[in-house]
Chain A
Amino acid sequence: MSNARFQARPATDQTGRPDFISIKNFGFWYGDKKALKSMSLDIPERQVVAFIGPSGCGKSTLLRNLNRMNDLVDGIRHEGDIEIKGQSIYDPGLEVISLRRRVGMVFQKSNPFPKSIYENVVFALRVMGVKNRAVLDEACETSLRKAALWDEVKDRLNDNALGLSGGQMQRLCIARAIANRPEILLMDEPCSALDPIATGKIEELIHELKAQFTIVIVTHSMQQAARVSDRTAFFYLGELIEYDTTEKIFMNPGQAQTEAYISGRFG
């Protein structure tokens, strides 16, 4: 397995933070259908970036390209490039598994394995061959603490994860992703199946996790994007319409289509 590391590069955005993810003239096809028109955007390190737009606009497609999840789909192709810390994720020297270790993902529907809470969290470490119990225990506790779930499950780590509530299962999935020590967390509508209180907990978690991780979140909830993100990208029909600070996008967007979408006057 290649252990190619992402190399840092000096580019910075307007905030002075280095660009962590650079999407460069990136276009994408499912077979003959062009799902993403050529687009470029930079995501700074340790910020939360929200992708918003109506269904079919391409936001999830772009998200799933950031860790090459779309490679699993037949007939796909892309143009342009995506770089993380200055290195192309399509670099032939970079193992896709290595990429996905660094770019964790949390899905719309929580998907814990039918195993104990403990085994869910340490699953990836076991796959990587970690056997030392102390290391696994430490990773389990640290990850559950970061996912704000430790206090709720510390006395029942051996219980089946499927017995947790929906909100707890989603936080368990975040803990599982964190245990792999990624640099980037991708979240694909992580709260769409949760009630407002569980959603609030996940949003609080996102706010805390950005101190350590770069987070890209796809959400249908503009309110959620407004609450949790530092920057927002608005997509429509596979095109990146506008990308700016979240405050700018929601208070005074530069594009008429963005204004129409966020004010509910779209379509």
Chain B
Amino acid sequence: MQRFFHDELRQLRDDLILMGERSIDMTRLVMQALETGDDKLALQVRGMDDAVDDLEKQVDREIMRYLTLFGPMGSDVRLLLAARDIGHDLERIADEASVIAKRILVISQRGALKDLLHVPEEGRIAVEVLRLALDGFVEGDIAKAKLVITRDAEIDQLNRKNYEALFGRSGDTAKVSASNVELIFISKALERIGDHSKNISEQVIFILSGEDIRHAR
């Protein structure tokens, strides 16, 4: 039997999906800003962060309301617990995109970089992986969620490559320009976006199967 309050779960899912879409947009646009040197676009991305913050608080309110008023059981409990973590990861992704935008503006002030190393590729994969994670949630697709975990390793590898390209295996920082340091921070932010996407996928697997695969050893 479908109950009237189940509509509120649908609303919660819709709000998470909206958060996800906005986070994807921010990541995609900020990478576009980096590659084209578009400061206006970087500023626009920074302005998009507040809406995601507001959505996180709204999602939290909806979770608390549902837990308190409607006595959820079974998969509904898993969805509500996971939704809190997913909302937090999406908010962190939006924050990372906003941080990237800030670093793009710093780079712009110090002179554009000719070589962006593997960062554009890392950004492209980060957007793909985030899309995959969100699709896994929307479609209830465990296979997609598991693929995120595999593909996150690609981002980690590119982040390491960027670091090695600038600092070499010795970690010598003396010859690295300030703008390149900003680029490394951007690479690290993309690596974090990959990690948050992986976290989301772990939560999707928890919702669908009840299995908690976090911190697998």
A residues at B contact (CB < 8 Å): 197, 200-201, 203-204, 207, 223, 226-227, 246-247, 250-251
Contacts and interface: CB of A to CB of B under 8 A. Distances in A.
Contact of A200 (B3, B64, B65): B3
Contact of B71 (A207, A226, A246, A251): A226
A220 B30 CA distance: 55
A37 to B, nearest CB: 29
B69 A226 contact: yes
A204 B68 CA distance: 18
A200 B1 CA distance: 8
B3 A246 contact: no
A244 B5 CA distance: 20
A227 B71 contact: yes
A203 B3 CA distance: 9
A61 B65 CA distance: 30
Contacts of A203: 3
Q: Describe A's contact surface by its main secondary structure.
A: helix
B68 A226 contact: yes
Contacts, number: 28
Counting contact residues on chain B (CB < 8 A from A), the size range is 10 to 19
Interface in B1-28: 1, 3-5
A143 B69 CA distance: 29
Interface of B: 1, 3-5, 64-65, 68-71
B69 A247 contact: yes
B4 A204 contact: yes
B64 A223 contact: no
Contacts of B5: 227
Contacts of B69: 226-227, 246-247, 250-251
Contacts of A201: 1
Nearest to B65: A247
Contacts of B70: 226-227
Contacts of A251: 64-65, 68-69
24 contacts: A200-B1, A200-B3, A201-B1, A203-B3, A204-B1, A204-B3, A204-B4, A207-B4, A223-B71, A226-B68, A226-B69, A226-B70, A226-B71, A227-B5, A227-B69, A227-B70, A246-B69, A247-B65, A247-B68, A247-B69, A250-B68, A250-B69, A251-B65, A251-B68
Contacts of B65: 247, 251
A251 B69 CA distance: 8
A256 B144 CA distance: 48
Contacts of B3: 200, 203-204
Nearest to B1: A200
B109 to A, nearest CB: 47
A201 B4 CA distance: 11
B8 to A, nearest CB: 11
Contacts of B68: 226, 247, 250-251
